[in-house]
A and B are shown apart, each in its own frame.
Chain A
Amino acid sequence: MQFLRKAVFYIFLIIYLIACPLILLYAVGYIYKPGTKEGFVKTGLISVATVPSGAKIYLNKSRYTQKSPAVIPELIPGSYSLKIFLKGHKEWIRTVRVEPEKATVFDKVILLPDRLRSKEVLHGKFRDIISVPGTDFLVLARSEKIDDILAYNIKSNKAWPLLKSGMLFGGGEALSYFTEKESPYIIFCVKSPAGNKFLRVELAENKEAPAEDITKFFPTEPSRVFWHASSPKDIFSYQKGSLNRIDLDSGQVYKKYIKNVKGFGLSENALYVLANDNKLVKMDYDKKDRKILIDETTMNTFLFRGNDFYKIYPLGQEIFLFWGERGGLLTNNAPYNLEGEGIKGVSVNLQFDRAVLFKNDRVGVLDLSAEEISGEAIKPVKIKWIYKNAKNIEQVFWAHEASHVLFRDGNKVFLAGAFEDSGFSLNSIFDVADGSSIVYSDKTGEAYCLFQSPGSLFASGIVPKKDIIEMPSVDTGQDKGKKYNGV
């Protein structure tokens, strides 16, 4: 037995010494190809994942045995024609370049149905929809009057009047609104005989007093209002170069809480303040733990335009975006000036370190995750325009784990694969009523719209519900305090 044990040990040792390097070589992409000069050749692979799954995969007209999701390994480097086909859905065809040792990944492919089906989810005569990003709610307006507005829960499919009858400012005209990502609160600016009033409404069913007049907390009418979903009773308002802080719990207003403010952003625990001297300072809500993140020498002071206010988006590895009032977009890394003017909206997804932005005629994306290559210098940040020559882009939404962008150009709605993993596709999905907004919810994978104005609320499934993985949303939402369009 002793001899046998030793003999087997040495056999196993030899097996290991031979097999281990071979397996590791195979793991990095080497395969043995008889007939080639070297014998061993480097290969690449293609990874495909679709929603819905179960699609047939064709590579250079040969059908691959597996259905999506699938990994096609051992591919000799070169160009391949990749076709993904699922019955009842639009074909997805790309010419794919396979590189040695690399994986060409299409793991966020959305296969749209041949005919996108829409269902009426709420009957009524609605004129517009307001998105409350990252929540289960949207808001529907029948007219410009505040008491003609409904809240709608997309999960329970229930709607209720935003204000109870006879409540504050009945009959007043809703002029504008403010929302924050993942916060079920909405602040309306309402025109009343006594002047403009601010109404804070909680989107919750069966709430006794969902609305609250918070006008008294604003010394003068604010141009911008900020809060974070985690502390909705801590509100910051921007007025003429200063930030006021409102503590709704105690009813305290801290006027000019921070002075000489040129830009502002906030996260769960921190405030980001761009001062007039172009220093970016991070501090906690009580102005403690101050840390200068960017001093005036880091960024050319001429980049920040005169008296423009900049909304600050913290993302990636200490990367910030500064979106100015006149549509300029700056960042603290080269090339600093991303776009001189005209950016109408910015939405950031912190989970994937991606940002989507739009101008009147184009939609672009920034992928900051691609910059995080350890040990290498950070590559210059660059906007990738995924759609140009539009008429008038007004709304943009992230879809399917920030891989796609759903946007509205006038009354036309498009779905675009924004990155390599989605295959840079572009599909026109449907047309909506002139002047009406749309809402896309990553929680249901559905786009909500009005096909007629006034008309009922319809939902169109973009991503099948079974393929939706609910993740904590970190999208920072879009422009706050914008004009209440269409109401």
Chain B
Amino acid sequence: MEFDFSGSNIQGRERGLQRFFEIVPGATSWMILVGMTILAFCEPLVAAVIIIAFDLYWLLRLLYMTLFLILSYFRLSMEKGTDWMKKAKELDQPGELCLKDIVHLVIIPVSKETQEVIAPGIKSFIQGAFPSKQVLVVIALEERAGQEVKEGVKKTQEVYRRDFLDLLVAIHPDGIQGEAKVKGANTTFAAKRAAEYFLEKDIPFEKVVASCFDADTVIDSDYFAALTYYYMASPERERASFQPVPVYNNNIWEAPGITRVLETGSSFFQLIEATNPEKLVTFSSHSMSFKALVDIGYWPVDMISDDSAIFWKAFIHYDGKYRVVPMYTTLSMDAVVAENWWKTVVNVYKQKRRWAWGVENFPIIMRAFLKNKKISFFNKMRYLFKLFEGHIAWATWAFLLTFIGWLPAIFAGREFTHTVFYYSAPRIAGTIFHLASFSLITSIILSICLLPKSREKHPVLMRIGYAFQWLLVPFTVIFLSALPALDAQTRLMLGKYMTFWVTDKKRK
């Protein structure tokens, strides 16, 4: 279906629908939080019953996710030593798709990242098993970037150009009509430049796999080989995105505890999601067929959440016949680190709010789904429920579990305080939280396993310290996860639209 995947420049009924669906997520989250608070005050017994039912649901969901986190982690570990190149070669189909014909396009958007941030990633492309001469790197440089950044890009191009099929720099001018100051506009501009390049060189788009990486992305040595294999092995490969597991290991040892815990949580979430490809949506750095990218009209140029929006755009364009293939390989990015602890916290908050701004997809998808008659109702509901419930849970669960869940006991009147329920509810909640600690312990163990080697003198002590940082979870989930999500939904609800903000990432 042809659909303009955008929330702006729409008029009339479409505008009204867009605004209505923008209000729905924030209004739902606030209704849950305020409604439960009022209920706890007016009808503490009813509120307590709901809270216990919710706590149990949360526990089972947590254990369910932990189980698949473990399974996913084991699969990731098992596939670590796979010779992807060999496996890809076995899939060679002469005359159709051969390994030697595959070209990887890597687009790296740069706005304020210096050479120190970009260079390690580009170097990692060369060091992989896949021949870098089959890789086209395009640095998507914002025209408004500072002189130091521009010089860094230029130097990077000079140093590494010969190692690749080519290394282009596409300077994205400011103020192109219809564009917002977002990453998608920059990467789209670069992708169009790459398309011209492929046309010039007579490289068919079907044989190009496009990856859009954050500037700090460092890939595993087998990343392109694995991606090539997954691409070649996938039926209807042009209707699929390929999602690796992002980890934030580049500077993990320099990052403060809260950042480590949060970023590891994001990696875990992606590992769990990988076990559910039916509902998987692209996130952060990922890859897809270049032909599909061109067909759907590249990334949205006026949306912040381009990483997930590109999936939805393709999903609607291909009438639901588009999917995400999970790849059991990692690519590493930088954890948020600023000049000091407080600035890091502020940056983490802003980064999570930007991620949570992915809720901007909801009204557009709703409009598209209302129009699209080819996607089955079941499929629409399945994806919509996951998207909607995911965002609402993100913004409300932590508050329900930590604050609102205890309100019935606080607001309880004499009538309620003299019931068995008043005494048993906290004990049941306590037992549920104790059982949930199994999940926390699992997370601690797996997070330690995922850590890279420390360059510090006492790596064992560092890891023990890291384990204790998980005690920060209650703080981080409330203030650096739920609160920014609620903030993002509230902004969308009130029509206070966000602009793209580049996260500070520093390395020693």
Partner of A16, one of B57, B423, B424: B57
Residue in A5, A19, A23 whose beta carbon sits within 8 Å of that of B68 in the complex? A5
Within the assembled complex, what's the spacing in Å between the Cα atoms of A8 and B417? 38
Partner of B423, one of A2, A15, A19, A47: A47
Number of interface residues of A (CB under 8 A): 33
A43-B420, A103-B418, A103-B423 known; A24 vs B52 contact (CB < 8 Å): yes
* B60 CB-CB contact with A under 8 Å: yes
B236 at the A interface (CB under 8 A): no
CB distance from B29 to the nearest CB of A (A): 23
B15-70 residues with Cβ-Cβ distance < 8 A to A are: 42, 48-49, 52-53, 56-57, 60-61, 63-64, 67-68
Residues of chain A within 8 A of B413, CB atoms compared: 372-374
**Residue B465 at the A interface, CB < 8 A?**
no
What distance in Å separates the Cβ of B386 from its nearest Cβ neighbour in chain A? Answer: 13
Q: B64 contacts A12, CB within 8 Å?
A: yes
Within 8 A of A (CB), among B337-385: none
Judging by beta carbons under 8 Å apart, are B56 and A19 in contact? yes
- Contacts A8-B64, A45-B423, A103-B419; is A2 near B414 (CB within 8 Å)? no
The one of A15, A103, A104 that contacts B422, using a Cβ cutoff of 8 Å: A103
- Asked whether B53 lies within 8 Å of A102 as measured between CB atoms, the reply is no
Cross-interface CB contact of A28 among B67, B68, B414, B419, cutoff 8 Å: B419
Contact A28 B421 (CB under 8 A): yes
Tell whether A223 is near chain B: CB-to-CB under 8 Å: no
Q: Pick the residue among B61, B68, B424 that contacts A26 (CB under 8 A).
A: B424
Min C-beta distance of A109 to chain B, whole Å: 16
Given contacts A103-B418, A103-B423, contact A1 B275 (CB under 8 A): yes
The count of chain B contact residues (Cβ–Cβ below 8 Å) is 33
Would you call B425 an interface residue if the criterion is a C-beta within 8 Å of the partner chain's C-beta atoms? yes
Decide yes or no: A15 and B420 within 8 Å by CB, A24-B49, A372-B414 being known contacts: no
Chain A CB within 8 A of B96 CB: no
* Per-residue interface assignment for chain A, residues 1 to 33, with 1 indicating a CB less than 8 Å from any chain B CB and 0 otherwise: 110110011001001100110011011110000
Is A44 part of the binding interface, using a Cβ–Cβ cutoff of 8 Å?
A: yes
Contact (Cβ within 8 A) A23 B423: no
Q: Is A214 an interface residue (CB 8 A)?
A: no
Residues of the B chain whose Cβ atoms lie less than 8 Å from the Cβ of A24: 49, 52-53
In the complex with contacts A1-B71, A370-B414, A373-B413, A101-B53 CB distance below 8 A: no
Contact of A27 among B276, B415, B420 (CB under 8 A): B420
Neighbouring A residues of B418 by C-beta, 8 Å = 102-105
B63 contact set on A, CB distance < 8 A:
12
Q: Flag if A103 contacts B67 (CB, 8 Å).
A: no
- Say if the beta carbon of A300 comes within 8 Å of chain B: no
Residue of B nearest to A19 (CB): B56
In the complex formed, the residue of A with least CB distance to B68 is A5
Q: Known contacts A16-B60, A23-B428; decide if A5 and B417 are in contact (CB<8 Å).
A: no
Other-chain residue from A23, A73, A102 in contact with B52 (beta carbon distance below 8 A): A23
Indicate which residue in B49, B67, B421 contacts A29 across the interface (CB closer than 8 Å): B421
Q: Judging by beta carbons under 8 Å apart, are A2 and B425 in contact?
A: no
Given the interface pairs A43-B420, A372-B414, the reply to whether A15 lies near B275 with Cβ below 8 Å is no
Q: Does B278 have its Cβ within 8 Å of any Cβ on chain A?
A: yes
A2 to B60, Cβ gap below 8 A? no
- Selected contact of A9 from candidates B56, B64, B421, B428, CB within 8 Å: B64
B425 → chain A closest CB, angstroms: 6
Query: Are A71 and B278 CB-contacts (below 8 A) given A16-B57, A103-B417, A103-B418?
Result: no
Q: Chain A's nearest CB lies how many Å from the CB of B268?
A: 16
A4: nearest residue on chain B (CB-CB)? B71
A43: B residues at CB distance < 8 A: 420
- CB <8 Å contact, B60 and A15: yes
A27 to B420 Cα, complex, angstroms = 7
* A369 CB-CB contact with B under 8 Å: yes
Q: Is B277 an interface residue (CB 8 A)?
A: yes
Give Cα distance in the complex from A193 to B353, angstroms.
79
User: Is A73 touching B421 in the complex (CB atoms < 8 A)?
Assistant: no
Of all chain A residues, the one with the shortest Cβ separation from B64 is A12
> Which residues of chain A have C-beta atoms less than 8 A from B423's C-beta?
45, 47, 71, 73, 103
* B419 contacts across to A, CB distance below 8 A: 28-29, 101-103
In the complex, what distance in Å separates the CA atom of A29 from the CA atom of B428? 12
Are A2 and B420 in touch, CB under 8 angstroms? no
* Shortest CB distance A369–B (Å): 6
Residues on the B chain within 8 Å of A44, using CB: 420
Return the chain A residue nearest B275 by Cβ. A1
Residue among B56, B75, B275 making CB contact with A20, cutoff 8 Å: B56
Contacts of B42 in A (CB 8 A): 374
Chain B residues near A15 (CB-CB < 8 A)? 60
CB contact under 8 A between A5 and B275, given known A15-B60, A20-B53, A23-B56: yes
Q: Mark A345-379, 1 if CB is under 8 A from B, else 0.
A: 00000000000000000000000011011100000
The minimal Cβ–Cβ distance linking A340 to chain B, given in whole angstroms, is 29
Q: Chain A residues near B67 (CB, 8 Å)? A: 8
- For A8, list chain B residues within 8 Å (CB): 64, 67-68
Q: How far is the CB of A19 from chain B (nearest CB, A)?
A: 6
Cα–Cα, bound, A71→B428 (Å) = 13
Are A373 and B421 within 8 A (Cβ)? Answer: no
A16–B57 CA distance with the chains assembled, in angstroms: 7
| B283-334 interface with A by 8 A CB criterion | none
B420 touches A5 (CB 8 A): no
Q: How far is the CB of A406 from chain B (nearest CB, A)?
A: 24
CA distance A44 to B420 in the complex (A): 6
Question: In the complex, what residues of A have CB within 8 A of residue B60's CB?
Answer: 12, 15-16
Min CB–CB distance B413 → chain A (angstroms) = 6
- List 9 additional A-B contacts (Cβ < 8 Å) besides A16-B60, A23-B56: A2-B277, A12-B60, A16-B57, A20-B57, A45-B424, A101-B419, A102-B420, A103-B422, A104-B418
Enumerate 10 A-B pairs (CB-CB under 8 Å) in ascending A order: A8-B67, A8-B68, A20-B57, A23-B52, A26-B424, A29-B424, A73-B424, A103-B417, A105-B418, A373-B414
- Lowest 4 A-B CB distances belong to which pairs? A29-B420, A27-B424, A12-B60, A1-B275
